[in-house]
Amino acid sequence: MSYTPRHAKPSLSKRRLGVVAGAAALTTTLFGGPDAHAQDAGLDGFIAQVNATFQDAAQRHDASAREGAWGLRAAMYQQADGLATVNPALPAQAKAAVDQAVEAAFPGLIAQRTAPEPAAQAAPAAEAAPAEQAAPAFDYGPCPRDAKACIDIDGRRSWLQNDGQVYHQAAAIGPGRAGYETPRGTFYVNRKVKDEISYEFNNAPMPYATYFTNNGIAFHEGDPSILSHGCIRMYRADAQRYFDDLQVGDKVFVY
């Protein structure tokens, strides 16, 4: 029986094999049966597998771990596409879960790898530069100027604004599912609880909860690819921004 000192670091080849093994394990999870992810419970299992895989990769704390994580993300994206045979909505939900796990384990990796290439040098003065197209105007819908937070349920988007000017838009939101629809109308922030849990739904965590109705509807951290029981789920960075910026009494408009 061989002995490896506890302080010894795994070789680069072993670390890369670990990434491949993680992808293989994920393949088994995704395609273990024709109905493996037809329901939320199956998708939750997939998300747990993804989180565990990236958390394990993050323990290596070196450049090769980030490189391997990016390759693993690409493999998971390909496997997520296969879920369309079970339910056409699952690939997008699965990819959102993968990106959330990557961001948690390797902060900034996605932004680093998807940043646009540096702009080319300007053309000589003698050549006329092509006219730039104006950016499309932001769609505020019916949200009033005095609202601090706006929620577009059908468009699956939300933003913060000052005097009718948007200054922060959530990357994605998960509003209420059928039978638990997020109420529409004008509301006001009434309380905030940083480390909230839901006693109604098996003590489910609700970090950075910012309540804006009197019956428990709030912005809070959660997977926005999965519809909620009425709250507005969003990624951690967005939930924290809403928690910090919104104060009791601020208007929230939902349409």
Query: How are beta strands 232-234 and 218-221 bridged, if at all?
Result: parallel
DSSP states of 6-64: TTPPPPHHHHHHHHHHHHHHHHHHHTSSTTTTSSHHHHHHHHHHHHHHHHHHHTT-SHH
Return the pLDDT at 39.
44
Render 199-219 in DSSP notation, one character per residue. Answer: TTTTTEEEEEEEE-STTS-EE
pLDDT of residue 121: 65
What is the structure's pLDDT at 8? 46
Tokens read off for 213: 């109705």
pLDDT at 41: 52
pLDDT at 182: 98
Which residues in the chain land under pLDDT 70?
1-43, 46, 60-63, 118-131
Report pLDDT for 192: 98
Span 176-228, pLDDT tens digits: 999 999 999 999 999 999 999 998 888 999 999 999 999 999 999 999 999 99
Q: Structurally, what CATH architecture does the domain formed by 149-254 represent?
A: Beta Barrel (2.40)
Q: What pLDDT, on the 0 to 100 scale, is given for residue 15?
A: 46
Query: What pLDDT does residue 201 have?
Result: 87
pLDDT at res. 86: 78
pLDDT score recorded for residue 249 = 98
Q: Where exactly are the structural domains of the chain?
A: 12-114, 149-254
153 vs 175: CA distance, rounded Å: 7
Average pLDDT of the chain to the nearest whole number: 82
